[in-house]
Amino acid sequence: MINQKIEDALNRQINLEQSSAQLYLAMSAHCEAKSFRGFAQWLRLQAQEETTHALKLVTFVLDRGGRLDLRAIEAPPKEFGTITQLFEQVLEHERKITGTINALFECSRQEKDFASEITLQWYVTEQVEEEATAGQILDQLRAIGEKGGGIWYLDSKLGKRGAK
Ligand code: OFO
Q: What is the pLDDT of residues 47-100, one digit of tens each?
A: 999 999 999 999 999 999 999 999 999 999 999 999 999 999 999 999 999 999
Structural domain range at position 22:
4-158
Q: Tell me the torsion sign for CA atoms 96, 68, 122, 42.
A: negative
pTM assigned to the model:
0.95
> Which of 33, 76, 53, 30 is CA-nearest to residue 123?
53
Asked if residue 163 belongs to a domain, the reply is: no
Choose one of 12, 14, 18, 20 to mutate for the ligand 1 pocket test, by most ligand atoms within 8 angstroms of C-beta.
20
Asked if residue 164 belongs to a domain, the reply is: no
Q: Which atom of ligand 1 is nearest to the CA of 13?
A: 4
**Would you report the helix, strand and coil content of the chain in percent, each value rounded to 5?**
75, 0, 25
Q: How many domains does the chain have?
A: 1
Q: What is the DSSP string of 51-82?
A: HHHHHHHHHHHHHTT------PPPPPPS---S
Q: What is the pLDDT of residue 161?
A: 82
Residue 71: CATH number of its domain? 1.20.1260.10
CB 25 within 8 A of CB 47: yes
Cα 53 to averaged position of ligand 1 atoms, centre (Å): 6
> Which of 143, 139, 138, 137 is CA-nearest to residue 157?
137
Cα 17 to averaged position of ligand 1 atoms, centre (Å): 6
Cα 62 to averaged position of ligand 1 atoms, centre (Å): 20
